[in-house]
Amino acid sequence: MGLILFSCNGQETKKPLTKNQKMDKQNLEYITFGGGCFWCVESCFNMLKGVDAAISGYSGGHKANPTYEEVCTGETGHAEVVQIAYDPKIISYEQLMDVFFFLHDPTQLNRQGNDIGTQYRSVIFYKDDAEKLKAEAALKASEASGRWQGKYVTEFAQFEKFWPAEQYHQGYYNNNPTQPYCSAVVGPKIAKFKKHYGELGMLEADTE
């Protein structure tokens, strides 16, 4: 039987999170990064305790209000990213970084598996020098852990602007679990994520 490959274009911290802790939506912080196709990344982050919302979108390019089709050409300079609003009293920046490096292979340059192009690059957008230092430390810790074999090629870039993706991309996997790319690529990643972070007590009860 031949292997069918689908692309997105083709339509450890072990500290448990506090259970039942109420999120402080008045003091949310934001983090934006790209780790390949945003359908998987968004779905997983929305399952975490302490995350108010994970929104798929575009960042790091030179065109205002880019469309999905434009970003997929690789000519706008944007990466597919997810912007996460989170309560740092419930989930830390370092824990979010751990999930980020779990969900994609940061040793692959400008690609994730069969998804190839600069729009799929591994990238962390930082808001200031202090956050850049935290991101660099998180990368070094993940690289030293041996989770992925090889040198990490994750890009660090100053955050400038986040453009939300079209509405049909939001919650895409939940709405389209049987779409070929979702069933072949996203679904297995989510299952692996749920097993690992469920055991660490980091998932909302209704997602475990």
pLDDT tens string, the chain, 208 residues long: the values are: 444 455 676 553 334 444 446 788 889 999 999 999 999 999 999 999 999 999 999 999 999 999 999 999 999 999 999 999 999 999 999 999 999 999 999 999 999 999 999 999 999 999 999 999 999 999 999 999 999 999 999 999 999 999 999 999 999 999 999 999 999 999 999 999 999 999 999 999 877 5
Determine the pLDDT at residue 10: 56
pTM above 0.85, yes or no: yes
pLDDT at 1: 40
Enzyme catalytic residues: 37
Distances (CA, A) of 105 to 18, 80, 179: 29, 15, 23
Q: Tell me, what's the pLDDT at 12?
A: 36
Alpha-carbon span 203 to 22, nearest angstrom:
14
Which pLDDT score, from 0 to 100, does residue 8 have? 74
Give just the sign of the alpha carbon dihedral 91, 94, 100, 103: negative
What's the pLDDT score for residue 111?
Answer: 97
Q: Closest by alpha carbon to 114, among 41, 7, 35, 37?
A: 7
Q: What is the pLDDT of residue 14?
A: 37
Give me the phi and psi of 69, to 5 degrees please: -60, -40
